[in-house]
């Protein structure tokens, strides 16, 4: 019962195709539609097979940099099979949302930010466990490091110097380390300091009354007094008092110079109403990702200004109202949904009835021919020849199949358990292919995701596509030159289905060789 109960925040498998691997998503919301069905608003995660080769190279480069910094198991210590399967566990987070029917959920999984302090083998040891460290943008086709990465190592942690011995002098330059901005042992009493701060607030209120722009933003006396009581005014007053050695008369004269009272504004006053609306819209879209908020919504603001405004905005009534609205919306939405276990037969399932191949979903003609041709073939992944259930896999012309356990692995992890011949060559760069034509064809297959056929043994050969390569002998090449008049190659090429008189060509070649 608990395994079939799905809640907001769960990482789940979604099935959008009977032959493709599951989609991996995180449930953000569960909404009931008008016709009574449940839809899940989800965050998209992408596999390596979903992104381009150039981005995969970028991901590999990032993984190598992380590996060099970490002190855990290096990838060089892993076997080829472990390296191959580890790539199936890597995902790429995105900020793309989509709505999917909850009935397409096929189970739970676990996705975590890559922990650089853990061994990568810990992800292989657990079922349905994935990791991510990069963020993928489907629209811009870019990969970026996640802002929430765990920053561990000498690049982020400070080196604490040894404690000074008693009587030992500190030879560091103190001016570069810290600056004293307030003295708690000043000659002034707490009452005198509070009175000075009241005077500073009064000066700030009067300064806002004289300022035209402030009188528009705070038309009432209460609003001006509230703005003058904010931290920016108090910080200015305390800083002024410290700079004048806690002399009250001298500090008060600085608060009201010859040009008029000093007006101190913070980010809450500097921002316009339209800028505040843009900020709230960006916060709804990106959360607390201030770099993206600045880049896409407020490029004319500095990052410091945006962060300062955010923490001041959290003290306003506007923030409290939005929080209440979100809480009310969350109460009205579904918290969890029960999805029964999906047990319908897969259309790719190769069934057999009384020794005679059968059809699934009513497809009899092509299905019958495919299944009869697949009988006796080994599993494309583990090379097993026996399984309680077989599934057709890959393009129909390839006539490949997977055993039950490898089919489940394919659906969950988006790859085969064992590395194919092309992947073995990538993992072992010392092994090279002698014929460049074969190497080109194999790399093309790896790029397009075409399955590599095997005949039951790990030393499987590459099945060519529709194109072929004709390897001719030296005598054949000689015959083309000697028998030009008999062959008439141009006319033969225009009529490819008319047979060539091989006997006449052979006789002419013999005469030429004898002479």
- Assign residue 314 the CATH number of its domain: 1.10.10.60
- Which residues share a beta bridge with 5? 338
> Minimal CA–CA distance to 374: which of 402, 347, 346, 354?
402
> Residue 10 domain-assigned?
yes
Q: Residue 316: which domain range?
A: 273-332
pLDDT of 111 strictly over 90: yes
**259 and 283 together in one domain:** no
**55 and 136 together in one domain:** yes
Q: What is the pLDDT of residue 466?
A: 55
Q: Are 19 and 411 in contact (CB under 8 A)?
A: no
pLDDT, mean over the chain? 80
**27 and 90 together in one domain:** yes
> Residue 328 domain-assigned?
yes
**283 and 202 together in one domain:** no
Enter the tokens of residue 338. 């029960």
Instruction: Give mean pLDDT, residues 413-442.
Output: 58
Element (H, E) at 307: helix 303-313
Backbone φ and ψ for 347, nearest 5 degrees, come out as: -60, -25
**259 and 320 together in one domain:** no
> Residue 372 domain-assigned?
no
Sign of CA dihedral 344, 347, 352, 357: positive
Cβ-proximal residues to 325 (8 Å cutoff; 6+ apart), any chain: none
DSSP conformation class of 515: -
pLDDT of 448 strictly over 70: no
Domain boundary among 232, 265, 298: 265
Place of tokens 């052979």: 506
**17 and 107 together in one domain:** yes
**107 and 49 together in one domain:** yes
> Residue 409 domain-assigned?
yes
> Residue 284 domain-assigned?
yes
> Residue 444 domain-assigned?
no
Question: Cα separations (Å) of 274 from 211, 270, 277, 278, 279?
Answer: 21, 12, 5, 6, 9
Q: Are 391 and 402 in contact (CB under 8 A)?
A: yes
pLDDT per position as a tens digit, 133-188? 899 988 888 888 765 555 666 777 777 888 888 888 888 887 777 788 888 888 99
Cβ-proximal residues to 235 (8 Å cutoff; 6+ apart), any chain: 264
How many folded domains does the chain comprise?
5
> Residue 442 domain-assigned?
no
152-173 per-residue burial string, b: 16 or more CB within 10 A, e: under 16: eeeeeeeeeeeeeeeeeeeeee
Interior angle at CA 401, CA 400 and CA 406, nearest 5: 130
> Minimal CA–CA distance to 453: which of 386, 503, 505, 402?
402
Domain CATH number, residue 104:
2.30.30.490
**101 and 230 together in one domain:** no
pLDDT per position as a tens digit, 294-318? 999 999 999 999 999 999 889 888 8
**399 and 503 together in one domain:** no
> Minimal CA–CA distance to 416: which of 451, 455, 372?
451
Domain CATH number, residue 383:
3.30.50
**255 and 277 together in one domain:** no
Enter the tokens of residue 424. 């073995």
Distance CA 157, CA 315 (A): 32
Distance CA 84, CA 78 (A): 10
**132 and 11 together in one domain:** yes
**9 and 136 together in one domain:** yes
Element (H, E) at 268: helix 267-270
Percent of the chain whose pLDDT exceeds 70: 80
Domain CATH number, residue 211:
4.10.1240.50
> Minimal CA–CA distance to 94: which of 41, 129, 141, 149?
141
> Residue 460 domain-assigned?
no
């Amino acid at each position: 019962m608990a395994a079939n109960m799905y809640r907001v925040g769960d990482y789940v498998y979604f099935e959008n195709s009977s032959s493709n691997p599951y989609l991996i998503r995180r449930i953000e919301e569960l909404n009931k539609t008008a016709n009574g069905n449940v839809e899940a608003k989800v965050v998209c995660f992408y596999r390596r097979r979903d992104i381009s080769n150039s981005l995969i190279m970028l991901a590999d480069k990032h993984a190598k940099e992380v590996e060099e910094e970490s002190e855990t198991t290096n990838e060089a210590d892993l076997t080829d099979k472990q390296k191959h399967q580890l790539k199936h566990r890597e995902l790429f987070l995105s900020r793309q949302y989509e709505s999917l029917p909850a009935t397409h959920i096929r189970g739970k999984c676990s996705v975590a930010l890559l922990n650089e302090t853990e061994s990568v083998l810990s992800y292989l040891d657990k079922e349905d466990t994935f990791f991510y460290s990069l963020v993928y943008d489907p629209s811009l086709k870019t990969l970026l490091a996640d802002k929430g990465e765990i920053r561990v190592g000498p690049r982020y942690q400070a080196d604490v110097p040894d404690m000074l011995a008693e009587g030992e002098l500190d030879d560091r330059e103190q001016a570069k380390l810290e600056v004293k901005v307030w003295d708690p042992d000043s000659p002034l009493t707490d009452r005198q300091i509070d009175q000075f701060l009241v005077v500073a607030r009064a000066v700030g209120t009067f300064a806002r009354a004289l300022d035209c722009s402030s009188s528009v933003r705070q038309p009432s006396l209460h609003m001006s007094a509230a703005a003058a009581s904010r931290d920016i005014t108090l910080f200015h007053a305390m800083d002024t008092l410290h700079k004048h050695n806690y002399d009250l008369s001298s500090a008060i004269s600085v608060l009201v110079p010859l040009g008029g009272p000093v007006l101190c504004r913070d980010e809450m006053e500097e921002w316009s109403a339209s800028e505040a609306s843009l900020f709230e819209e960006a916060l709804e879209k990106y959360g607390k990702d201030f770099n993206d908020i600045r880049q896409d919504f407020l490029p004319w603001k500095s990052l410091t200004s945006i962060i300062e405004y955010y923490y001041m905005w959290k003290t306003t009534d506007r923030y409290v109202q939005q929080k209440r609205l979100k809480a009310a919306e969350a109460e009205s939405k579904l918290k969890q949904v029960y999805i029964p276990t999906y047990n319908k037969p897969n259309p790719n399932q190769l069934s057999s009835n009384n020794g005679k191949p059968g059809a699934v979903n009513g497809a009899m003609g092509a299905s019958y021919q495919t299944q009869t041709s697949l009988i006796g073939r080994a599993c494309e992944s583990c090379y097993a020849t026996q399984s309680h259930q077989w599934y057709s896999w890959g393009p129909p012309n390839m006539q490949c199949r997977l055993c039950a356990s490898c089919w489940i692995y394919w659906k969950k992890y988006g790859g085969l358990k064992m590395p194919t011949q092309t992947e073995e060559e990538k993992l072992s760069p010392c092994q090279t292919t002698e014929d460049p034509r074969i190497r080109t064809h194999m790399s093309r297959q790896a790029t397009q995701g075409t399955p590599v056929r095997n005949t039951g043994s790990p030393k499987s050969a590459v099945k060519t596509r529709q194109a072929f390569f004709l390897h001719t002998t030296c005598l054949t090449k000689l015959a083309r030159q000697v028998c030009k008049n008999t062959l008439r190659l141009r006319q033969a090429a225009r009529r490819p289905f008319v047979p060539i008189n091989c006997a006449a060509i052979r006789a002419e070649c013999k005469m030429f060789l004898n002479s």
